[in-house]
Chains A and B, each alone.
Chain A
Amino acid sequence: MSASHAAPAQAPTRSRVTLQVNGSPRTLTVDHRATLLDVLREDLGLTGAKKGCDHGQCGACTVLVDGRRANSCLLLAVAQDGTEIITVEGLAAGGELHPVQQAFLDRDAYQCGYCTPGQLCSAVGLFAEAAAGHPSYVTDPTRPSGQGPVELTAEEIRERMSGNLCRCGAYPNIVAAVEDVTR
């Protein structure tokens, strides 16, 4: 019985990659099965990116990859060689909080705090998307895409932040904090 289930004892394939993490090059050997999220958390000690579902369903692991927000649980680390990664630990440039971090404090836009890093990175990502004119589901469909910034109304923010779940129910405060930054 056991023989039929025995897998060949091959060492997992590993590769050497360099990630630009929060502005610093980090070279390490990664297991090809390892996600960017696990490498950040377990190998680099950057536990700001959270594991809420490991399936791209909750957004707690959101980081910025080459300036765009991404679920780091859905990215294999080996495929990110050479990319620039910004995690929540990298949002406060030069020790000064990013405006959206300050707005989260001002608005009490968090409770347990576990979704917070993902919400913050997602907000920073959506500012860039709206500035670049990317439409969302609630954007006027007759509006040409990519031509001038999309105004971030509360409805736009709610729609664009909906990939980031918060079980404590801090949503109204999060939306208010994101709105504060757009003003």
Chain B
Amino acid sequence: MPGTATSAASRTATSAATRTRVPAAPARALGAAAERLEGLDKVTGAARYATELAHTPPDCAYAWPVPATVASGRVTAVDTAAALALPGTLAVLTPDTAPRLGEPDDPNLAVLQHHTVPHRGWYVALAVAETLPDARAAAAAVHVTYAAEPHDVTLTPDHPGAYEPQEANGGHPARRERGDAAAAFAAAPVHVDATYRIPPLHNHPMEPHAAYARWDGDHLTVYDSSQGAGPVHAVLARLFGLRRDQVTVVSQHVGGGFGSKGTPRPHVVLAAMAARHTGRPVKLALPRGHLAAVVGHRAPTLHRVRLGAERDGTLTSVSHEVTTHTSRIREFVEQAAVPARVMYASPHSLTTHRAVPLDVPTPSWMRAPGEAPGMYALESAMDELAGALGLDPVELRVRNDPATDPDSGLPFSSRHLVECLREGARLFGWADRDPRPAVRREGTLLTGTGVAAATYPVLLSPSTATVTALHDGGYAVAVNATDIGTGARTVLAQIAADALGVALDSVRIDIGSTRLPRAPLAGGSSGTASWGWAVHAACTRLTERLARHAGPLPVEGLTASADTTEEAGRTPPFARHAFGAHFAEVQVDTVTGEVRVRRLLGVYAAGRILNPRTARSQFIGGMTMGLGMALTEHSTMDPAFGDFAEHDLASYHVPSHADVPSAPDIDAYWVEEEDPHLNPMGSKGIGEIGIVGTPAAIGNAVHHATGIRFRELPLTPDRVLPALA
């Protein structure tokens, strides 16, 4: 293995646990548990999100969209008379009256450009009014008539519309085959052949998608709640036929995204249209109830996993076949069979994706697309196999750990899954586990423990950045990165301080605007690596320049820039992935069917951890979302109305305080991993891997508690209680 890692996990989060204040200027900024730079703004209410202007202009208008009430068909008429007659209404934009836009790559952004309704909730009009109550009332008064068509929104494994696409999300081939998986499965002495189902899931960041748009002549300025101002900028320029220098996009503080703000969504296009149409600045904040239909969702996935093994647990055949839905207007295929290509050694393997186009909203990214649902299925099947073999589930995974990437044959740049499993087992107290299911009873409760592995690929995009040495001894870093709650500001400042060899408090950092050097979006757990490489390169260059510079700094300071297009584009001959292990302890109430998580542990091998404080928070945050996926989160495509039935946070249950144990019953650890094949910081992405193994670990713990194998999420009482009877 090229990486020279130590296997000893260190409890790196002690600062948080013991409430020790972190020194403001550590000897080395990188790797220090630095506090978030914007923390004070966030705890005092001073941090302003997309539509939160300190001084809303007196002529600012408010927009409120009108969703379609049929799942398929055409808009035949939009009657705006009643809406326009209301006091305060400025305009109602319809497919007949809205400004014409350029052709978007994403057909979901062609809002009010045609009369077709591809799914229920598609926007068919936009009310613009003087105040928020006026706008809402105007939208409610718009009357739309439709020529409705029959719709089909129900995903089934044998749907006649199913097809195998060329690629799944992320550019992965839809199908990969190695050897003869079917024959090897048939010949194997021990088998698992199981199907798993995961319902549609919604990102639901706490800040609903929102934008403020203003035109100054031919210049468009937008404040958008987005994971990347850059992509928003490019799309708006194209749609509105503007030069790039005629558009400014700002995403300063963003109230979460989890994939749903990765690319522009309809609200920002509508806000810019409304501002152009009315000649007024416009705020548009989507109502929570609209999000399920218009900002993307995790598509439902149907999995068939077949594992064949020798009696000693050696896998001989791994098959993972996924069926999912996509919309009629844009192909998005959740790449849920992809992690099975990297996880375990097996001479024979088959991984496929099939998609069924339905009259549903277009699915999109939700935290760890592919890995989160795929690893629920694969890691549940591994647990079933361990049971069939009478083998410890940790040991089964260790025995099948591959020496090289099973799919590409490339060596891993670093792979420490076994170390994560071993260290997790030690921390969790796994050695004392009685493997028998359904034997631990505490009154009316059954308890059990489970384990699952996790993986997430190392992704990277080119970025630029600049850094300026200032007269006051400080350094100003500029990069159009986005902090969606990850701590990007802070860790980029740490990278800069480290590369410059200065204290963290002498670095100022400016992010979240297209006025700054071009940079990719916050997604794919790639932000820190992508932006950080450019920041590191610019700071390294500035250090060299300062060393050569004699005399006082010029008036404007001394600046260095970097563009990592070349280095980020090089693909080293390694398979690069982060790995992790999740352990869960649950209690199952035999009277109510309620499952509660008592303990949840994650151990990760994700390169160098650059800020243990914010990293721990992100890992635990991912695990918490995984807990929701396992136990509470569930959306339903209603076949009659063609709509997600769970529209709001009272029906779509994200985990609440009461669902999540306190530290140390929930915690995240990592093994030290040195990997020279990543980026100058040696980091892998950490934003998504926390969710990946959590649902299977919890599901496996429920099996251990009850002896019942549930194969459909979430494990809600209505599903659990009948099975216990």
Contacts and interface: CB of A to CB of B under 8 A. Distances in A.
Interface of A: 1-3, 5-7, 9-12, 31, 33-34, 38, 41-42, 45-55, 57-58, 60, 87-89, 91-92, 97, 101, 104-108, 110-117, 120, 154, 157-159, 161-176, 180
Interface in B58-100: 77, 79, 81-82, 85-88
A74 to B, nearest CB: 13
Given A33-B133, A108-B614, A172 B650 contact: no
A122 B21 CA distance: 25
Interface string B38-73: 111111111111001111100000000000000000
Contacts of B613: 108
Interface in B253-276: 253-256, 258
A44 B251 CA distance: 23
Contacts of A113: 38, 41-42, 47, 253, 255, 485
Residue from B48, B621, B625 whose CB has the most chain A CB atoms within 10 Å: B621
B143 A111 contact: no
A179 B487 CA distance: 24
B152 interface: no
Residue from A97, A166, A168, A173 whose CB has the most chain B CB atoms within 10 Å: A168
Given A2-B81, A5-B143, A52-B206, A172 B662 contact: yes
A58 B43 contact: no
7 interchain residue pairs of minimum CB distance: A48-B45, A169-B624, A112-B485, A114-B255, A169-B621, A113-B42, A111-B485
A75 B387 CA distance: 55
A153 B668 CA distance: 23
B87 A47 contact: no
Nearest to A166: B206
Interface stretch (B163-171, B396-404, B651-659): B651-659
A176 B39 CA distance: 17
A158 B656 CA distance: 8
B682 interface: no
B18 to A, nearest CB: 10
A172 B98 CA distance: 47
A112 B662 contact: no
Given A111-B621, A169-B621, A52 B663 contact: no
Given A6-B82, A6-B85, A108-B614, A45 B54 contact: yes
B237 interface: no
Contacts of A162: 656-658
A158 B658 CA distance: 5
Given A48-B45, A167-B205, A170-B620, 11 more contacts: A1-B143, A5-B81, A5-B141, A9-B87, A33-B133, A42-B131, A57-B288, A108-B35, A110-B36, A159-B657, A172-B667
B623 interface: yes
B649 interface: yes
A48 B205 CA distance: 17
Given A53-B649, A57-B648, A162-B657, A167 B256 contact: yes
Nearest to B81: A2
Given A48-B44, A166-B206, A53 B52 contact: no
Give chain B's interface residue range (CB within 8 Å of chain A). 35 or more
Given A113-B47, A116-B43, A168-B485, A161 B657 contact: yes
A129 B663 CA distance: 24
A7 B208 contact: no
A169 B623 contact: yes
Contact of A57 (B618, B649, B661, B663): B649
Contacts of A158: 657-658, 660, 662
Given A45-B54, A87-B45, A172-B662, A5 B79 contact: yes
A176 B662 contact: yes
B207 interface: yes
Given A5-B143, A158-B662, A53 B288 contact: yes
Given A31-B131, A51-B285, A107-B19, A5 B45 contact: no
A52 B85 contact: no
A110 B614 CA distance: 10
B483 to A, nearest CB: 8
A53 B617 contact: no
A170 B617 contact: yes
Given A7-B86, A45-B54, A54 B287 contact: yes
A163 B654 CA distance: 12
Contacts of A41: 52
Residue from B45, B131, B486, B661 whose CB has the most chain A CB atoms within 10 Å: B45
Contact of B654 (A6, A42, A49, A167): A167
B16 A114 contact: no
B621 A170 contact: yes
Contacts of B623: 169
19 contacts: A1-B77, A1-B143, A3-B81, A5-B143, A88-B45, A89-B46, A97-B44, A105-B40, A105-B43, A108-B613, A111-B618, A165-B654, A166-B657, A168-B617, A169-B622, A169-B660, A171-B656, A172-B660, A172-B667
Interface string B201-221: 000111110000000000000
Nearest to B624: A169
A172 B662 CA distance: 5
B16 A108 contact: yes
A2 to B, nearest CB: 4
B134 interface: yes
B661 A172 contact: yes
Q: Is chain A's interface secondary structure helix, strand, loop, or mixed overall?
A: loop
B436 to A, nearest CB: 30
B207 A52 contact: yes
B44 A89 contact: yes
A56 to B, nearest CB: 9
A84 to B, nearest CB: 17
Interface string B19-44: 10100000000000001101111111
A143 B655 CA distance: 29
Contacts of A111: 256, 485-487, 614, 617-618, 621
A5 B79 CA distance: 9
B19 A180 contact: yes
Contact of A52 (B43, B143, B288): B288
B523 to A, nearest CB: 15
Contacts of A115: 206
B666 interface: yes
A159 B16 contact: no
Contacts of A55: 288-289, 648-650
Interface string B129-142: 00111101100010
B134 A165 contact: no
A112 B484 contact: yes
Contact of A168 (B52, B208, B256): B256
Residue from B35, B43, B622, B623 whose CB has the most chain A CB atoms within 10 Å: B43
B47 A9 contact: no
B617 A108 contact: yes
A120 to B, nearest CB: 7
B654 A5 contact: no
A178 to B, nearest CB: 10
Residue from A10, A55, A168, A172 whose CB has the most chain B CB atoms within 10 Å: A172
A12 B134 contact: yes
B649 A165 contact: yes
Contact of B86 (A2, A9, A105): A9
A92 B208 CA distance: 27
A92 B289 CA distance: 34
Contacts of A101: 43-44
Nearest to A48: B45
Contacts of A1: 77, 79, 143
